[in-house]
Chain A
């Protein structure tokens, strides 16, 4: 398997609390992405990174922030979790951006109660 891991795999949290999801890669790929997957919506891009400290917003970025201080780590933070952020979150990595496709992590199932 490609060297990409997400943690935690499952998490239950309360409304209003901050939550941080971690994506770690050992492939030294330049591009990293956070998507959320919801029934009937497919995968939607939250944020992405094209290098250390270089990040940009995706289509559903409200309520989320990211940081990338090292090539291998890309953190997604829900500043104040809401029930609408209950979802499965996927991290992905890529060598050439969209050209070569992505390698995905195993996903984090987040439940906000």
Chain B
């Protein structure tokens, strides 16, 4: 079974600084998809960014970007110019092959300090 590991239960960053959240995954699939979700205190799950494994180029969405290292099975999220509204729980997720479902990591709680 695929597993997703987020090794940092908590992280903190100063406002306007950059922070990187780590994620590793285990799979034998060659074709898969990776995601980062944000969960603010409102509890709503929000898709931040998506990466297709067959694409070499790292995905970017405004201040959010990923460092996708396929050989190392690593998928880290970089948040630039951190804002107070970025404070949230962040989940890394994996979907592989034709299994139609996402496997989530345990999450990283990000605190943004003013």
Q: Which residues on A are within 8 Å of B, measured CB to CB?
A: 31, 33, 35, 40-45, 48, 50, 58, 88, 90, 92, 94, 97-104, 106-107
Contact = CB atoms under 8 A, between A and B. Distances in A.
B54 to A, nearest CB: 12
A90 to B, nearest CB: 7
A101 B47 contact: yes
A45 B43 CA distance: 17
Contacts of A98: 33, 95-96, 99-102
B44 interface: yes
A101 B50 contact: yes
Interface of B: 6, 33, 35, 43-45, 47, 50, 91, 93, 95-96, 98-107
Contacts of A97: 95, 98-101
Contact of B101 (A33, A41, A42): A33
A48 B99 CA distance: 11
- Greatest chain B CB density within 10 A among A40, A92, A99 is at A99
A106 B45 CA distance: 8
A44 B3 CA distance: 12
Contacts of B44: 104, 106-107
8 contacts: A31-B100, A33-B101, A42-B91, A45-B101, A45-B102, A92-B45, A98-B101, A99-B33
B47 A90 contact: no
Nearest to B99: A98
A48 B93 CA distance: 16
Contacts of A58: 101
Contacts of B100: 31, 48, 50, 94, 97-98
Contacts of B107: 42
A101 B35 contact: yes
B106 A102 contact: no
Contacts of A45: 101-103
A42 B106 contact: yes
